[in-house]
Amino acid sequence: MTVHHLHLVSDATGETINSVARACLVQFSGVEPVEHVWSLVRTPSQMSRVVAGIEANPGPVLFTLVNDALRTELMDGCRRAGVPCIPVLDPVIHALAAYFGVAISGQPGLQHVLDSEYFDRIDAMNFALSHDDGQSTSHLNDADVILVGVSRTSKTPTCIYLANRGIKAANVPYVPGIQLPDELFQVKGPLVVGLTKDPARLVQVRRQRLNLHSGDNTETDYVNLDSVRREVAEARKLFTGHGWPTIDVTRRSIEETAATIMTLFSRHQAEAI
């Protein structure tokens, strides 16, 4: 089997380059290269080690570097090794610079500076954790977004994802026979979104979780297909009755669900102005 190597070189944390690599690699079925991650590369000695690593394991190089001397050293090393060297952000940065008519700062890691946006994300993360699964309902009106959904619709990870985008998200579970908190129906500012899922898929996921955590195979309404169908139908009726937008997450990743919510939230904000 042929072994492919891929080098990801960054002068910051490498988060951006990793995301780009993930987005690109999914387009190549059956290709799983050995990834070599080189982050916080900011000195000539560090770059020398990177180039040596590339020469030892030749493979395409994706990079995000703003220092011209380091870029030149990397590209020269790749030329000698006979491998592609791709500056993934250059087209975007240069196009924006030309449009805005301003110079590029050339300072690495600016997206991670401890500015107000960073602390907004931290606040949003704390909010999501303290308002998970119906906690602290007396403060629901402080949320930007409130997710309501039946069990196993990825409410918590979606809230965490949104928090990482600076959106304060709370989630409230819909459980048959248990009344939702009054505070949920009294909120004025937050966008409330209902999450639902195909009943058959819900049963499958719930059974897997029960077996994983307790080995319990007992037949209950929680995993009974007819009961789950009624549960999902009741939840949908509730969402529709209150005019809450509803998202079926059956075939959506958390990222896709969050992207839809962020679009809805942008519209919600615009309508509030």
| Residue 218 assigned ligand-binding role | no
Are 154 and 63 contained in the same domain?
no
What rounded mean pLDDT belongs to the chain? 91
> Is 257 in the same domain as 204?
yes
Domain end marker among 111, 130, 165: 111
Instruction: Look up the pTM and report it.
Output: 0.71
Looking at the structure, tell me whether residues 234 and 255 fall in a common domain: yes
C-alpha 191, offset from chain centre: 19
- Position 211 scores a pLDDT of 82
The whole-number pLDDT of residue 111 equals 57
Q: Say whether both 11 and 129 belong to one domain.
A: no
Asked if 72 and 124 sit in the same domain, the reply is no
> Do 195 and 83 lie in a common domain?
no
Q: Is 130 annotated as a binding residue?
A: no
Does 94 share its domain with 197?
no
**111-138 core/surface letters (b: 16 or more CB in 10 A; e: else):** eeeeeeeeeeeeebbebbeebbebeebe
Judge if 81 and 206 occupy the same domain. Answer: no
Same domain membership, residue 249 and residue 131: yes
Determine the structural domain holding residue 16 and report its residue range: 5-111
Determine if residue 53 is labeled as part of a ligand binding site.
Answer: no
How many domains would you assign to the chain?
2
Cα distance between residue 247 and residue 189, in whole Å: 20
Predicted local confidence at residue 109, as pLDDT:
58
128 with 260, same domain: the answer is yes
Output the pLDDT for position 112.
54
Query: Within the chain, which residues score under 50 in pLDDT?
Result: none
Q: What is the pLDDT of residue 106?
A: 65
CA atoms within 13 A on the CB side of 74: 28
Two tokens, residue 236: 């949908």
Query: Which of 77, 111, 145 delimits the end of a domain?
Result: 111
Q: Are residues 72 and 120 in the same domain?
A: no
CATH of the domain at 16: 3.40.50
Reported residue count of the chain is 273
Q: Are 237 and 227 in contact (CB under 8 A)?
A: no
pLDDT at position 96: 84
**Integer Cα distance of 178 and 31 in angstroms:** 48
Was 136 annotated as part of a binding site?
no
Q: Is 150 annotated as a binding residue?
A: yes
Nearest-CA neighbor of 271 among 189, 148, 167, 194?
189
Domain termination residue (choose one: 56, 79, 111):
111
Confidence at residue 215, expressed as pLDDT on a 0 to 100 scale? 65
Whole-angstrom distance, CA of residue 31 vs CA of residue 85:
19
Residue 44: alpha-carbon gap to chain centroid: 33
Q: What is the DSSP string of 180-238?
A: PPGGGGT-SSSEEEEEE--HHHHHHHHHHHHHHHT------TTT-HHHHHHHHHHHHHH
**CATH number for the domain harbouring residue 256:** 3.40.50.300
Pair 191, 96 in one domain? no
Report pLDDT for 59.
96
